[in-house]
Amino acid sequence: MSDELPVRLAGARAPTLMWAAENEIEQAALAQLRNIAALEWVHGVRVMPDVHLGKGATVGSVIAMERAVSPAAVGVDIGCGVAAVRTSLVADDLERMPVLRSAVEQTIPVGFRGHDDPVDVRPLRLDRGSAAFWGRFGELAPSVQRLESKAHHQLGTLGGGNHFLEVTVSSEDASVWLTLHSGSRNIGKELAERHITVARGLPHNQDLPDRDLAVFLRDTPEMATYRHDLDWAQEYAMRSRAVMMELFKGVVERHFEAASVRFGETISVHHNYVSEEIVDGRPMLVTRKGAIRAGAGELALVPGSMGTGSYIVRGLGNPASFSSASHGAGRRMSRNAARRAFGGTDEGASEIAAQLGTVESRRDAGILDELPGAYKDLHHVIASQRDLVEVVAHLQTVLCVKG
C-alpha cells in the first residue's frame, strides 16, 4: 500500500513518480506517461492512484514544465472540479428524497440544457467581479464569440458525463453535506479544442511521440493567447460551481424549511487546470489533469463513483507529489465497456438496482457507464495516498443527480 509508494516509472526520461503499482495501471496509460516524460520541456511527472488513459495526456497526471505548457495536459473540460459544503442537517432529518431530487433537477439543468434565462447572480451575492469577467468575453478566441449567449445560459448548470449533484452523510458524525462536480461546459471545451489544434500545427511540435501532447512555448503569442483563454475558462468553471451550489442550497432550504438549515464554508477546487508554482526551487507551469492541489492544510473533496460516496481530505503538502493528490476514484472501464458489461437483457435494471442499493437517483440505461463497477475502489485510492492527504470525513451518498 502507501508504505511502498511512490514507485518510479521505468523507461521515463523525466523523473516520474507513481502512487500506484505499475501492474495496476493499463499498458496504454504507461506508454502515454512515458511519452509525456519524453518531452524536452518536462521537469517531472507525478501520477496519482486514480490514473487511467486519457486523450493526449493521462488522467491522474501532474506535469511540471519549464517554459512550456501542453493544452492536452489540462484536458478539454478546462477548470473541471468539485465543491462541497457542510449543512446543519443530520441523517435523521432526511426525508422525501424523491421529492428533493425532483426539485434539484427542476432548478439546475443537466445534460446539454441551460437555464431558460441566465441566472441573476446578485440575489446569490455572487456578482462581485461579474461585470468585469463577462467584459473579457470579447477578448477570447474569435472562434467562440458566437457562444456568449450560450455561455450565459449554461453558467450554473451541471452538464453530463460524470458530473453530479449529491446529498451525502458523514460516516463520522451523520452530518449532511452537499457536493457537486462540474466543469466549464461547452465554452471550455470549444476553447480547449481550438488551442489543441493550434498547438498541433506549430513547427516545434512536428516530431513529438504523440502530437496530442503539442505544447505552447513561453514568451510566444500562442502561449499568451492560450493562457488568457485558459484563465477565463477556469474562472467560468469556478463561478458556475458557485452559482450551482447556491441554487442547490436554496432547494435544500425550501425542502427542509422547518429545520432552518445553515451552511458552512464551501470547499471548491479545480482538478483540470494550470498554475504557476515553484517546483524544486524553480518556477514551473504545473498542469493537473484529474488531480488536485493538496497543499498543507488545504481542504478538498475526492469523490468516488456514482453512489459510493466521497472523502473530504486535508492536504499534507508533500513536495514529492508536487503537493498533489487524486481527484477521485478513476475509471477502470471505458464507457463503452461499462455499457456492455452492465447492459444485460433487462437494459441494466438488475445491475443498477444491485450497485446503487438505496441511493435516490434516476435508474435508466443512460447511467450504466457511471455505475460504481465502472470505477476503481475509492477506499483503495485514498489508502494509496496516505502520505499526500489525511481524511477529514467519509461521505456516503444518499441522493445523486446525474447529467
Q: With bands split at pLDDT 50, 70 and 90, how would you rate the model's confidence at 55? A: confident
Residue 179, pLDDT above cutoff 60 = yes
Is 272 known as a binding-site position? yes
Is 306 known as a binding-site position? yes
Q: Whole-angstrom Cα distance, residue 271 to residue 293? A: 8
Is 402 known as a binding-site position? yes
**Looking at the domain that runs over 7-332+375-402, which CATH code has it been given?**
3.90.1860.10
Contact (CB, 8 A) for 330 and 52 = yes
Is 305 known as a binding-site position? yes
Please report, for the chain, the start and end positions of each structural domain, with discontinuous segments joined by +: 7-332+375-402
What is the pLDDT, as a whole number, of residue 67? 94
Cα distance between the two ends of the chain: 34
Q: Whole-angstrom Cα distance, residue 162 to residue 185? A: 13
Q: Which amino acid is at 250?
A: G
What is the pLDDT, as a whole number, of residue 3? 59
Tell me which residue has cell 508533500. Answer: 318
- Residue 394 falls in the annotated catalytic set: no
SS3 156: coil
Residue 132, pLDDT above cutoff 70 = yes
What is the pLDDT, as a whole number, of residue 57? 93
Residues in the chain: 403
Is 35 known as a binding-site position? no
Per residue in 78-124, pLDDT (tens digit) is 999 999 999 999 999 999 999 999 999 999 999 999 999 999 999 99
Is 329 known as a binding-site position? yes
Q: Rounded to 10 degrees, what is the CA torsion of 123, 127, 128, 132?
A: -160
DSSP character string of 251-290: HHHHHTGGG---B-PPEEEESEEEEEEEETTEEEEEEEES
Is 204 known as a binding-site position? no
Q: Which three cell numbers stand for residue 276?
A: 504557476
What is the percent of the chain where pLDDT is above 70? 99
Q: Cα–Cα distances in Å, from 144 out to 150, 153, 219, 231?
A: 10, 15, 24, 15
Positive/negative CA dihedral, 27, 30, 36, 37: negative
The catalytic position among 228, 327, 380, 394 is: 327
What is the pLDDT, as a whole number, of residue 258? 78
Q: Which of 67, 249, 231 is nearest to 156 (CA)?
A: 249
Q: Rounded to 10 degrees, what is the CA torsion of 252, 254, 256, 257?
A: 140
Per residue in 253-311, pLDDT (tens digit) is 999 987 889 999 999 999 999 999 999 999 999 999 999 999 999 999 999 998 789 99
In whole numbers, what is the pLDDT of the chain averaged over residues?
96
Q: Whole-angstrom Cα distance, residue 315 to residue 51? A: 19
Is 181 known as a binding-site position? yes
Per residue in 347-402, pLDDT (tens digit) is 899 999 999 999 999 999 999 999 999 999 999 999 999 999 999 999 999 999 99
Is 162 known as a binding-site position? yes
Helices (H), ranges, 307-371: 335-343, 349-356
Residues β-bridged to residue 269: 82
DSSP character string of 209-252: SSGGG--EETTSHHHHHHHHHHHHHHHHHHHHHHHHHHHHHHHH
